[in-house]
Amino acid sequence: MSTVDLGLPGGLQNGLHGVPAADAPQTRKEYVSDQEVRWCPGCGDYAVLAAFQGFLPELGIKRENVAMVSGIGCSSRFPYYLSTYGMHSIHGRAPAIATGLATARPDLSVWVVTGDGDALSIGGNHLIHTLRRNVNLKILLFNNRIYGLTKGQYSPTSEPGKVTKSTPMGSVDTPFNPVSLALGAEATFVARTVDSDRKHLTSVLRAAAEHRGTSFVEIYQNCPIFNDNAFDAFKNPETRDDAIIPLVHGSPIRFGTDGHLGVVRDGFASLAVREVADLPGGESDLVVHDAHTEDPAYAFALSRLTDAGVLHQAPIGIFRQVDRPAYDDLVRQQITTATQAQGPGDLQSLITGTDTWTVN
């Protein structure tokens, strides 16, 4: 077998390249559909929906060129509530469906809305393959660490030992760290944000939209019915400063009340949280966050600063954003190349072929 140079398009293209611009400024209201929103009172999905509806007009693209694709689960009702094109599909398959849509239609901004069960359990295969292909679509993974729609079974992100209806003696499963998983799957854009921090959420969504390729955004989202306060450490004013490790490109990773904590390199390819005061060089010993680091080992090390069990501490922000050609761009480029080289296909000569005979 041989390989060919794919003639990759150079430069970091915008994720919205090819999507037609809106004729006039848009408002949040235009993106609100006429459907009654039916999540449980207090659900974190409301906050994400409100942020999303507020953020879409800022993109300045035509509303009819936004397509939302979801799977099954509470979060997957999302498309119904946006006045864009949308498909509420089947469990776990949204990334596959969106891959076909994004490949067929370069003029659309395609978004996948999914949950921890939808994306990481039943749809795990499609998620990892979409990430490795780097299809130009945006995946919002609402992680509430529980199955909500089926009424409270543990999910692939539930902490070990979790007692649920299906695990009365505690779950014995080891959970996924979604950010680590995405990085392992060669994702080019990996971020995490929180439902309750609208400003941060919006900034991450914007970066995701503008990234060319698959953007993977894990959103910590509270389920008040079946897993309330799973992210309490992040929301409680008394703990949140020490819980949230903010990732800001180009800045030292420093956090905690009065910035007493920081992230340093620790042994072979690992990172660790330390008291800044204990570091010989002080802040200069801290890691300066570089989301564009090609080697995914750095972002992976960052992702491991997340608790695997009950959440006390986790990085928030963009872990990784690197440039790699998008699958759908390459696929379309091959069609263009083939068409330019040989001209558009002529059906009659195709079916006739070269080896014919005539009966008179």
Partner 1 sequence: MTIEVKQLDRVVIRFAGDSGDGMQLTGDRFTAETASFGNDLSTLPNFPAEIRAPAGTLPGVSSFQLHFADHDILTPGDAPDVLIAMNPAALKANLKDVPRGATVIVDTADFTARNLKRIGYDENPLENGELEAYHVVALNLTGMTVESVKEFGLSRKDASRAKNMYALGLVSWLFQRPVESTIKFLETKFASKPDIRDANIAAFRAGYNFGETAEEFSVRYEVKPAVMPTGTYRNISGNLALAYGLVAGAQRAGLAMVLGAYPITPASDVLHELSKLKRFNVTTIQAEDEIAGVGAALGASFGGALGVTTSSGPGISLKSETIGLGVMLELPLVVCDIQRAGPSTGMPTKTEQADLLQVMFGRNGEAPLPVVAAQSPADCFAIAVEATRIAVTYRTPVIVLSDGYLANGSEPWQIPSVDSLPTIDPNFTVEPNATGADGKPTYLPYLRDPETLARAWAIPGTAGLDHRIGGLEKEDKTGNISYDPANHDLMIRTRQAKIDGIARTIPPLHVDDPDGTAKVLVLGWGSTYGPIGAGVRRVRTVGGKIAQAHLRHLNPFPSNLGDVLRSYDKVLVPEMNLGQLAMLLRAKYLIDVVSYAQVSGMPLGAAELAGVIGNLVEETEGIDDDARHLGTAAAKLTHWDHLEGAR
Would you tell me which residues interact with partner 1 (CB under 8 A)? 33, 35, 62-65, 67-69, 72, 79-80, 82-90, 93, 96-105, 107-108, 125-126, 129, 331-332, 334-335, 338-339, 341-345, 347-348, 350-353, 355-360
CA torsion 174→176→177→181, rounded to 10°? 140
Q: Which is nearer to partner 1, 129 or 260 (CB)?
A: 129
Q: How far is the CB of 262 from partner 1 (least distance, A)?
A: 40
If we measure between CA atoms, which residue out of 152, 157, 182 comes closest to residue 311?
157
Quote the least distance from Cβ 270 to partner 1, whole Å: 31
Helices 94-104 and 124-133 sit at what angle, rounded to 10 degrees?
30
Residue with tokens 């999303």: 52
Judged by CB, which is closer to partner 1: 20, or 170?
A: 20
* Strand partners for 265: 271
Query: Residue 61 has which token pair?
Result: 């693209």
> Closer to partner 1 at the Cβ: 43 or 96?
96
Query: Nearest 5°: phi and psi at 318?
Result: -95, 110
Cα pseudo-dihedral 299, 300, 305, 311, rounded to 10: 110
Q: Which of 219, 201, 18 lies closest to 109, judged by CA?
A: 18
Smallest separation (angstroms) from partner 1 to the CB of 266: 36
> Token pair of 140, please?
């919002």
Closer of 12 and 122 to partner 1 (Cβ):
122
φ and ψ of 123, to 5 deg = -105, 15
Residue 265 CB, shortest distance to partner 1, in Å, is 35
Residue nearer to partner 1 on the CB measure, 102 or 291:
102
Q: Report, in Å, the least distance between residue 339 CB and partner 1.
A: 4
